[in-house]
Structure 1
Amino acid sequence: MPKRAKTPELFDDAKYLTVVGPYPPHPNMELAQHRMEFSRWIGSCTGPEFLRAFYHKPTSPGSVIIEIDESFPDFKRLLGEHKWSEFLVDPGDQGRYVSKVFYCTYNTDRDVQKNGEPDVMDA
């Protein structure tokens, strides 16, 4: 009987953050347009070179887990509350929305996938 393939080594060079109330409002990450808008928003906050991937769970549409390269220089600026009225040019009724970013309890992409965040979207 052949041996099972060796589990690949885990690299600890990323941090995982949870975004509650992500942009755009009430996103459906199954739609390419919503994934692109979310990626552009987070990429504008981090710089596109630091955003690696994001994970979403279709049964939890109000939160997304993002994978950020550990070399990102300013995690403290990214954490906390982001009022849409402060970053949208013409917010209209969307000005009342707020996104919140927290450190995630998962430390690896394998932990995220094992705990029910199956859909990976490479940024």
Structure 2
Amino acid sequence: MNDNRSASPAAVALLWLLGIFAIPLGLALWAALSALAAANIVLIAAPAAVLLDWTLSGERYPAALFASLAGTGFGMLAALGTIAAFKAGIRCTAGGLALSARIRKGRAL
């Protein structure tokens, strides 16, 4: 293939229009994944927060520790799904960037 050619003006215009919608959606995807990861970290660290609360306040409620342990279990299970979602997000982002590069270079879809 001839690597010196570039995309037609119509392809560049459509790529620009696609970017208007794809970039905010991609940023929203990564923001949601980051929030999900932060929630998992907080759930996994919940027993440490309960122990810190016990040492600072002096009041001990065993139910709080049991609830935090349940949250830790849920956080560990949700972390498995979050890892899979991050891998899918990376694949989607890389595929979109590769598609954009192919269109900019004038290659066929």
Q: TM-score, normalised by structure 1?
A: 0.19
Q: Which has the larger radius of gyration?
A: 2
Q: Which has the higher strand share?
A: 1
Q: TM-score, normalised by structure 2?
A: 0.21
Q: Which has the higher helix share?
A: 2
Q: Which has the higher contact order (CA 8 A, sep 6+)?
A: 2
